[in-house]
Each structure stands twice: as structure tokens, then as C-alpha cells.
Chains A and B, each alone.
Chain A
């Protein structure tokens, strides 16, 4: 079956542009997570959805970052007025249950802000 997919795989933006990153989780997965991974670092949590409800957005670095999952499946992470420090790989993960369990990761979107 299909895993988690993300698009685009690569995005180059000029400083100040807005970007939108898409995540298609595994069908039927309740939980969806966004992580940010800087070069040479481990992923850092950004935000978490349970179905369409955004239960935790404590990891979003600023109010320029916004995520949504309006129908409880596909999710979009939007970054407004991008800055160079936003350059990173953005990973999406989904899991089946409501409790702690295995998360399935997408390939990530590599964002480069010039």
C-alpha cells in the first residue's frame, strides 16, 4: 500500500515568499505530525493533528507557520514571509492510533530559502 507522501520534494523560495507544503498520510491514519529537520540534526516537533483537530502546535517556531488538516486526511504546512532560517527538511508522519505507537514518515520536503 501507499506510504506517506509529501510534495513538493524540493522547494526553493526567495526570502519573503510564502510556501505551502503538502502531506498525504496513510489512508485511515488518525494522527498526523509535522517535524522540522535542520542539516545534521534530528527532527524537531512542530505540530500534531488528531483527525482534523490540531491538538498541539507548541513546536511552531513563529506565527509565520500555520498548519491545517481540514478534512482529517491531507495536511498543509504553510510558511509565510519565509526567512533563511526556515531552510530545512520538513517531515510529515502519520500513525494509526490515538496512543503512542509507530510513526510512518514521508520522504520530506527540502526547503531552501535564498
Chain B
């Protein structure tokens, strides 16, 4: 079963615009991660935010986490055609200890048009 649900399922924007993707999850977590997957390729880690953090930046990426609403958002500023990919949020299993396995959402398919 999948815990995270990304919204929207698909997003199409013009180069230079900002892209915002949202993720909701169901159970308590230790951290939340965002990954990118280009078509036919493996996943690339973008950013990790811990449950005691509210916002984190990495280059053109900004992630927020609201544990009270069990939601996170990923903002990509000044998008480029190369940002075209599927974006997934992933949470830890949340049942304590260091199980390690991630629970992924279904992803948001981002298309950035030049």
C-alpha cells in the first residue's frame, strides 16, 4: 500500500515558471524525502526534511513540511526543460526503529515546456 499521495498527478508549465507539488501522508513519520525520476531511469534523491523541520532549501528547491496536516510541498523555482520528470514524495514506515524502507506516493508528472 502507498502512504503518500501527490497532487497534482500531472503538471504542465512553461520554462521559467515555478512548479508546486503537494504530498499528503497518513501516519506519523520521522522524515519525508522527495525524489525525481526521469523516464526509464532510477530515482534521484532531491531533499530530506525531518519531522522537526518546517522548511528546507536546496538550490532552486524549497520543501515545506506541516506535520499537523500531514502534508509537504515541493517548490521548484525558475523551472527548466531539464526539470521534466516524475516527482515522488517518500516517507519512512513510521513504526519506530530504523526499518529504513520508504513508502512512496504515486508521483506528480511534471512537464516543462521550452
Chain A residues near B (Cβ < 8 Å): 4, 31, 33, 35, 40-45, 48, 50, 55-56, 59, 91, 93, 95, 98-108
Contact = CB atoms under 8 A, between A and B. Distances in A.
Given A42-B107, A44-B2, A103 B102 contact: yes
Interface of B: 2, 4, 30-31, 33, 35, 41-45, 48, 88, 90, 92, 98-107
A36 B33 CA distance: 18
Contacts of A4: 42
Given A42-B90, A91-B43, 13 more contacts: A33-B100, A41-B2, A42-B105, A43-B88, A56-B99, A95-B100, A99-B98, A100-B98, A102-B33, A105-B44, A105-B45, A106-B42, A108-B42
4 residue pairs, one from A and one from B, having the closest CB atoms = A42-B104, A105-B42, A45-B101, A105-B43
B101 A33 contact: yes
Given A44-B2, A100-B31, A105-B42, A31 B100 contact: yes
A102 B48 contact: yes
B102 to A, nearest CB: 7
Nearest to A107: B42
Contacts of A59: 101
Nearest to B47: A102
A40 B88 CA distance: 12
A75 B88 CA distance: 25
A33 B88 CA distance: 17
B43 A41 contact: no
B27 to A, nearest CB: 14
